[in-house]
Amino acid sequence: MAVTDKLTALDVMRDAPVIPVIVLHDVKDAIPLARALVAGGIRMLEVTLRTPQALQCIEAIAKDVPEAVAGAGTIRSAADAQASALAGARFGVSPGYTRSVGKACRDLGLPLLPGVATGSEIMTAQEDGYTQLKFFPALQAGGLPMLKAWQGPFGDVTFCPTGGIHVGNAAEFLALSNVACVGGSWIVPAEAIREGNWALIEQLARAATTLARSAA
């Protein structure tokens, strides 16, 4: 089942300064969470495939919150990509990159932000046509100094650093010319989801949209 719209990976990156990295354990939380994020100005929602309920959550958001753009994170195989597209995901994010995942997403018409942590991985993804990439795990793989070092040899690549990004350091990453957005979980705290504190999540999302960025 192919994604029928014309969404691109760059569209996903440019929509807001932050892509929330969402872990959902209960399908009942998916719709109110998505509505809170959209109300706060965040539409691109990365629901990670880390729980058994993730695909059902993506499906619920896709069906009942049309203003949101449901995406699937933690895509690690072609099967993950196929299941995500069937559930209604409109983009995918992977923690690493394999050519089989890249091909599956291309065949499905599913925009992909492949995860990279080294120059060789960037080159492999580029060979397959991917130039909008997730830098993961950002802090552990070199953080700001690594992204600055890549500005020269990979000046045609745009990154979404994810992993260790929080409200205290997001602005530093967004100030880099090769960073279009960041991925983070601070706007979707697990405790707030458990408590159904959607007002707090809306507030955190709204604050995240005010972060300035260089490569928007």
Query: Annotated active-site positions, please?
Result: 46, 134
Please give the structure tokens belonging to residue 5. Answer: 């719209």
| Pairing of the two strands 112-113 and 132-135 | unpaired
Q: Which candidate, 215, 133, 211, 212, places its Cα nearest to that of 178? A: 215
Burial of 130 (0-12, 13-18, 19+ CB in 10 A): buried
CA distance 147 to 135: 9
Q: How many residues does the chain have?
A: 216
Count CB-CB contacts under 10 A for residue 135: 30
CA distance 148 to 176: 7
Please give the structure tokens belonging to residue 16. Answer: 């807001």
Any idea what the Cα angle at residue 124 is, between residues 119 and 126, rounded to 5°?
A: 95
Q: How far is CA 46 from the centre of its chain?
A: 5
CA distance to 37, 151, 155, 193, per residue, from 208 (Å): 10, 25, 26, 17
- Find all residues with CB under 8 Å of 168, minimum gap 6, and list them: none
